[in-house]
């Protein structure tokens, strides 16, 4: 048994009970999206502020980041027109600022390409802002907004955006999509473009809030994020896990984006397993956890993100890492160079691009096999952007 396997199998969950959480940043930043007051780059984690009032409900993208605090308030930093508070797009906010005055936020969800941001409160209301090309905000127009705009309904549970498209699930288990419909990415079995939410099929088995209603607060938001991926969707594709633990995908798939061969305008189950528990799907591939094991698929593997010791391309589910994983996360650099992260009970392991310090291990050395990132072993959750990460640990 390898040293790597030994290390992962011995990694346990953090034992210290959290009275709050601290927020950390590392990697390469722009537009102030580190939250550290500047765009200085760091190859090791640096704490954002000195408070422990953050929660694990955090999302990030190329240009901005958002998080919910323990008092239910929503905070953002980065590019102005993505904050949600009406700040001009020419302005950058490099330290966290509160968005509005509400104290009932349940979840904040992003777009992996820095186009839109979405937030849901404990009443199940959905609020959106950002770019609106192809109607991807769902506001029945193509007008962009730098302030929050509410969409109709009070039963929203989870949401995520990709390249000019959005998919969401409601508390009744239905799935909805809007924006550019090319390649069937909006879950409608068509390539039609919609500027307002349109239900995809009649099934009510899509992961929604069967066990995690918005009224439960940010803890339930984090649970929904496990199966939907709250930092975005794929380039021209979408994926999610249904209530039965099945993994599904739709859209462009030339690089094995959704884990099967060939594009599919119809939602297609990936494999036959019913034990998927975590998903992160961005750019041209994804990562997830099935029966406790970290798996990753799709993309170019130019930086060795598959973690199999090579840079060879292969479509479909190509790599499973050793050990029992507790979180899966994928980051990407300009659609081609990607990095994958597995959280093993508080210890983060990386493979792929590290040219900008994304691993948080103090180096800029990329690896084709999984290596430990930050030296500590108490990470509750990690989210990844284009060239950076935010981590949350007990405070």
Domains of the chain: 3-12+112-376 (2.130.10.30)
Give the pLDDT confidence score for residue 260 in this predicted structure.
76
Query: Where residue 12 falls among pLDDT bands split at 50, 70, 90?
Result: very low
Query: Where residue 113 falls among pLDDT bands split at 50, 70, 90?
Result: confident
43 token code pair? 């190859």
349 token code pair? 């392991």
Give the pLDDT confidence score for residue 2 in this predicted structure.
31
Give the β-pairing of 126-130 and 237-241. Answer: unpaired
> Hunting for tokens 């498209």 — which residue is that?
165
Query: Where residue 41 falls among pLDDT bands split at 50, 70, 90?
Result: very high
Distances (CA, A) of 28 to 33, 36, 58, 388: 9, 12, 18, 6
Q: Residue 16 pLDDT > 70, yes or no?
A: no
- In total, the chain counts a number of residues equal to 395
**115-142: average pLDDT:** 97
Q: Residue 6 pLDDT > 70, yes or no?
A: no
Asked whether 382 and 390 are in contact (CB, 8 A), the reply is: yes
List phi, psi (to 5°) of 117.
-135, 145
| Averaged pLDDT score across all residues of the chain | 91
Give the pLDDT confidence score for residue 264 in this predicted structure.
76
- 268: β partners: 249
Give the pLDDT confidence score for residue 13 in this predicted structure.
37
Query: Where residue 9 falls among pLDDT bands split at 50, 70, 90?
Result: very low
List Cβ neighbours of 387 (8 Å cut-off, separation of 6 or more): 27, 28, 29, 331, 333, 356, 358
15 token code pair? 């034992």
Give the pLDDT confidence score for residue 332 in this predicted structure.
86
What are the tens digits of pLDDT across the range 275-309?
999 999 998 999 999 999 999 999 999 999 999 99
Give the CA-trace dihedral at 258, 335, 365, 340, to 10 degrees: -20
Q: Residue 335 pLDDT > 80, yes or no?
A: no
**6-25: average pLDDT:** 56
Give the pLDDT confidence score for residue 254 in this predicted structure.
86
Give the pLDDT confidence score for residue 153 in this predicted structure.
97
Q: Residue 19 pLDDT > 70, yes or no?
A: no
Query: Where residue 40 falls among pLDDT bands split at 50, 70, 90?
Result: very high
Which element (helix H / strand E) includes 227? helix 218-228
50 token code pair? 């000195």
Buried b / exposed e along 237-248 (16+ C-beta atoms within 10 A): bbbbbbbeebbb
Phi-psi label, residue 275: left if phi above 0, alpha if psi -120 to 50, beta otherwise: alpha
Asked whether 237 and 281 are in contact (CB, 8 A), the reply is: yes
Give the pLDDT confidence score for residue 77 in this predicted structure.
97
For the ranges 31-40, 113-122, 328-337, 347-356, which has the lowest average pLDDT? Answer: 328-337
What are the tens digits of pLDDT across the range 245-261?
999 999 998 888 998 77
For the ranges 31-45, 82-96, 170-184, which has the lowest average pLDDT? Answer: 82-96
């Amino acid at each position: 048994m390898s040293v790597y396997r030994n290390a992962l199998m011995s990694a346990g969950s953090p034992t210290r009970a959290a009275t709050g959480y601290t927020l950390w940043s590392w990697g390469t930043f722009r537009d102030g999206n580190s939250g550290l007051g500047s765009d200085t780059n760091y190859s090791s984690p640096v704490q954002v502020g000195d408070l422990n009032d953050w929660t694990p409900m955090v999302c990030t993208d190329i240009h901005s980041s958002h998080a919910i605090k323990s008092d239910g308030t929503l905070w953002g930093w980065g590019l102005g027109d993505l904050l949600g508070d009406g700040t001009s797009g020419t302005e950058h906010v490099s330290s966290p600022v509160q968005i509005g005055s509400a104290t009932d936020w349940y979840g904040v969800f992003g777009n992996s390409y820095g186009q839109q941001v979405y937030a849901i409160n404990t009443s199940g209301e959905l609020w959106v802002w950002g770019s609106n090309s192809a109607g991807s905000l769902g506001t029945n127009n193509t007008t962009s907004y730098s302030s929050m705009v509410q969409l109709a309904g009070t039963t929203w549970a989870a949401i995520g955006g990709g390249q000019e498209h959005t998919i969401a699930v409601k508390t009744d288990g239905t799935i909805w999509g809007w924006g550019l419909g090319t390649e069937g990415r909006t879950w409608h079995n068509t390539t039609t473009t919609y500027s307002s939410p349109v239900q995809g099929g009649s099934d009510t088995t899509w992961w929604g809030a069967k066990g995690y209603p918005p009224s439960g607060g940010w803890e339930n938001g984090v649970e929904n994020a496990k199966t939907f991926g709250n930092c975005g969707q794929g380039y021209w594709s979408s994926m999610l896990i249904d209530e039965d633990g099945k993994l599904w995908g739709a859209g462009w798939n030339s690089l094995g984006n959704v884990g099967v061969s060939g594009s599919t305008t119809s939602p297609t189950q990936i494999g036959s397993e019913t034990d998927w528990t975590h998903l992160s799907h961005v750019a041209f591939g994804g990562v997830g956890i099935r029966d406790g094991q970290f798996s990753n698929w799709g993309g170019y593997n130019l930086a060795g993100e598959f973690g199999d010791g090579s840079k060879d391309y292969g479509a479909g589910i190509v790599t499973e890492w050793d050990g029992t994983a507790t979180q899966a996360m994928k980051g990407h650099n300009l659609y081609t160079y990607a990095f994958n992260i597995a959280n093993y009970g508080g210890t983060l392991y990386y493979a792929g691009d590290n040219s900008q310090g994304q691993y948080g291990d103090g180096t800029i050395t990329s690896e084709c096999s999984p290596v430990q990132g930050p030296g500590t072993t108490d990470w509750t959750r990690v989210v990844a952007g284009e060239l950076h990460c935010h981590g949350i640990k007990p405070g």
